[in-house]
Amino acid sequence: MSKEKEFLDAKEKALNSLEKAKSENKVDEGIKAILDIINGSDEYYTSSSCAGRIVLIELPQLGDKKGAEFLGKWHRKIEPDEIGGAAKKAKTGMLWLLAQSPILHIGANTHDASDNLLKTAISCGFKNSGAKSTGRKIIVEICSTERLDSPIGKDGKLFCNEEYLNLLVNIANEIMDRSSLKLHRLEEKLEKYLSTRKTTQQ
């Protein structure tokens, strides 16, 4: 099978999965426009994405991702009392408050295409982005450096006082604000870059 055929097959599979996710309302609203722009190009397709989120999870023990229980998940800014409400569902284990910046995984058909995409992403503030090649498949990961990982309780009890919880929520919300601005810049630059590529390739 040719490299181009492999790319087209992978893109078709990814787009079918994306359409299914859209129909089930499993695609973040804040990133849909970017996904459409990228998937409208002959050079790329998106395989997974997240617009950024704030999460409260319960871990039975450190590093036990399989046993993790999601108590709260928000793709927006939150209020401190939302953490308190979600924490009431906790049972046994460590409680962690996480704020995660956007992440996108994108298939590229050539190394030149992946390099250009990386330059665009990094110029928009996604400094932690990179590319990896597995066999003939090239995947670009677009992500940023902002994140928050803070233990805030154990076995259903919050150990932080109101003042400290407010501080953590403010930091998490700032990460969401910064993420939104970076996604907006990325959307504008990708639209301009990919429209230019289409013109030069015609």
In the chain, what are the domain boundaries? 3-201
Least confident of 74-83, 128-137, 175-184: 128-137
Q: If you write DSSP's letter for every residue of 107-161 in order, what string do you get?
A: EESSHHHHHHHHHHHHHTT-TT-EEEEETTEEEEEEE-S-EEEEEEEETTEE-S-
pLDDT-derived band at 41, boundaries 50, 70, 90: very high
Residues 6+ apart with CB under 8 A from 103: 48, 49, 50, 141, 142, 143
State the average pLDDT over residues 65-71.
86
- Return the pLDDT at 77: 96
Query: Which residues pair with residue 130 across a beta bridge?
Result: 141
Q: What is the pLDDT of residues 92-114, one digit of tens each?
A: 999 999 999 999 999 999 999 99
State the average pLDDT over residues 70-83.
95
- Return the pLDDT at 133: 81
Q: Does domain 3-201 have CATH number 3.30.1960.10?
A: yes
* Helix or strand (DSSP H, E) at 179: helix 162-201
Tokens of 154: 């154990």
- Return the pLDDT at 200: 57
pLDDT-derived band at 199, boundaries 50, 70, 90: low
State the average pLDDT over residues 160-166.
94
- Return the pLDDT at 66: 78
Is the pLDDT at 202 greater than 60? The verdict is no
- Return the pLDDT at 2: 79
Q: How far apart are CA 67 and CA 138, in angstroms?
A: 31
At 119, the amino acid letter reads K
Is the pLDDT at 175 greater than 80? The verdict is yes
Q: How far apart are CA 2 and CA 165, in angstroms?
A: 54
Considering the entire predicted model, what is its pTM? 0.88
- Return the pLDDT at 198: 61
Instruction: Give percent of the chain above pLDDT 70.
Output: 96
